[in-house]
Chains A and B, each alone.
Chain A
Amino acid sequence: MNEMMQHSIFFGGVLSLLTYGMGMAFRKRWKFALFNPLLISIVACILFLIAFEIDYETYYEGAKYLSYLLTPATVCLAIPLYEQLTVLGRNWKAILGGILSGVLTSFGSIFILASLFHLDHSAYVTLLPKSITTAIGMGVAEELGGYVTICVAIIILTGIWGNILAGILCRILRITHPIAKGVAIGSSSHAIGTVKAMEMGIVEGAMSSLSIVISGILTVIGAPIFAQFL
């Protein structure tokens, strides 16, 4: 099977799209938070590759064209943000204050939990950038002496968890204001969470996009300080 698929450049893309479509159908049928299209697609792709003994490289040969579009797509997050600039201007104190509280909570909670689990310095700094966008987070982990590959995995898992969590958590904790929802999602689960915020509404999406940028920068500044604690 692997050999046959090695000759295909469309296999990876087809598998990604079909499993995502399957995930959307699941969510439509059952309104259950774990039936998250992204999570279903990822799990289904991995199971498929394992079941048919297909290498990740073979899959990636086709799927890399999806990854290729990630930078242009992130650039385009500027469009909803531009359309919401007046909202940003009018509420900048709340937005900045919220993001700052989020970054500090992330550092603080990771420090406490890492101490409880008796993690060493390298493991601790690998976790510190977990809530920010992959490309920035990798740089932070590398600079502080963490494990870059694991850091990428942790960032992706955090994003997926945030994407799943966002709807329920905002409902239970009565976070109802669109700006607050967007800032909360973007600060905790970067671009993968932002996908969910975009589904919720334009203000949520724009604020989440903004939070990726600002929490990323604040983490670059703050992580070296917090890294010294453990």
Chain B
Amino acid sequence: MKYIRQFAIILTISFIGEGCHFFIPLPIPASIYGLLILLFALRAGIVRVESVQDVGRFLVEIMPLMFIPAAVGLMETWPLLEPVFVPFLVILVVSTILVMAVTGWCTQGILRLEEKKKKESRTYE
């Protein structure tokens, strides 16, 4: 019963997410609406963590498998991709390195700055 109920809650929220995607004219997919709805429901106490966490953990754990079908579909897109492949690949490889590096440094930099500020304010007290 436990798993049926948990799966039912998760699928229902996915379904509500689809509804939001259909009715709200924004380029936000059902999955993101669903994520925000579940987060809100957990925060507001409408859904308890215990009522979704087993199936939730299972789904998140097998998530990498879910990207395989679409990625294998690259073989179908290849004729379209081939003429632009080299410049596009160079751009995405370089740009992704830069984004990851800058984001990591900035986040870490601000975190350290805040920690330092906290320490200083403590010494003043």
Contacts and interface: CB of A to CB of B under 8 A. Distances in A.
B95 A136 contact: no
Q: Which of A42, A74, A83, A91 has the most chain B CB atoms inside 10 A of its CB? A: A74
Interface of B: 10-11, 13-14, 17-18, 26-32, 34-39, 42-43, 49, 52-53, 55-57, 59-60, 62-77, 80-81, 84, 87-108, 110-111, 114
Interface residues of A, number: 106
Contact of B90 (A42, A113, A149, A212): A113
A169 interface: yes
B35 A97 contact: no
- Interface residue SS majority, chain A: helix
Contact of B110 (A97, A114, A133): A97
Given A153-B74, A192-B67, A158 B27 contact: no
A216 B97 contact: no
B110 A98 contact: yes
Contacts of A157: 74, 89, 92
Contact of A45 (B26, B72, B108): B72
Contact of A94 (B13, B29, B70, B114): B114
A216 B10 contact: no
A166 interface: yes
Contacts of A95: 107
Interface of A: 12, 16-17, 19-20, 37-38, 41-42, 45-46, 49-50, 56, 59-60, 63-64, 66-67, 69-83, 85, 91, 93-95, 97-99, 101-102, 105-106, 109-110, 113-114, 117, 119, 123, 127, 130-131, 133-136, 139-140, 143, 147, 149-150, 152-154, 156-162, 165-166, 169-170, 173, 175-177, 179-181, 183-185, 187-189, 191-192, 195, 198, 205, 209, 211-213, 216-217, 220
Given A127-B92, A169-B97, A175-B108, A150 B77 contact: yes
B47 to A, nearest CB: 10
Contact of B111 (A16, A83, A179): A179
Given A76-B55, A136-B32, A220-B26, 9 more contacts: A56-B75, A70-B63, A75-B37, A77-B35, A133-B29, A153-B74, A154-B88, A154-B92, A183-B104
